[in-house]
Homo-oligomer: A and B are copies of this chain.
Amino acid sequence: MEYEREPVKLEPKVAMGYLIHAEFGRVAFVVDDLPVIRPLNHVVVDGEIIVYTWHASAFAEAVRARPGLPVAYQSDEIEAHSHTGWSVLVAGTATDVSDHPRAAQMGKQVQSWIDRPHDMVIAIRPHEVTGLRLTIGR
């Protein structure tokens, strides 16, 4: 019997739901006309993707240089054996919200995996959210 993976498009709200339950993703942005990609931990607060970084990181420098920096954010969970799971793509803009009254609280919610001084909270506002779920059909 042959099984085929069927891609099912996700509604934006459903896709954001996957992001809420995910812990990390990758942000892509442009520096000097070149694409840059970085893995990051995140939390979703009030529909925005909140990441916590340190001021000397490439992403932090890019956002400081251009508030409202256009970004793409991607997250997925693919089961290694069956290759089923989901993938979500977000196009949006990133802004330094370190001065936001709730920044310290939001930053702490982001579970960072590396012990570095984290001192900059960035909010990514999604403009477009798309996603795909890979299920096994027949």
**Chain A residues proximal to chain B, CB less than 8 Å:** 4-5, 7, 23-24, 26, 28-30, 33-39, 70-74, 76, 78, 80, 83, 87, 89, 91, 113-115, 134
Contact = CB atoms under 8 A, between A and B. Distances in A.
A29 B34 CA distance: 8
A121 to B, nearest CB: 20
B113 A28 contact: no
Given A35-B71, A36-B72, A37-B89, A83 B113 contact: yes
A115 B138 CA distance: 12
Nearest to A90: B37
How many copies of the polypeptide does the oligomer hold?
A: 2
Contacts of A29: 35
Given A26-B26, A28-B28, A30-B30, A74 B113 contact: no
Contacts of A35: 28-30, 35-36, 70-72
5 contacts: A24-B78, A29-B35, A30-B30, A30-B35, A38-B74
A99 to B, nearest CB: 25
Contacts of A36: 28, 35, 72
A34 B91 contact: yes
A137 to B, nearest CB: 9
A59 to B, nearest CB: 11
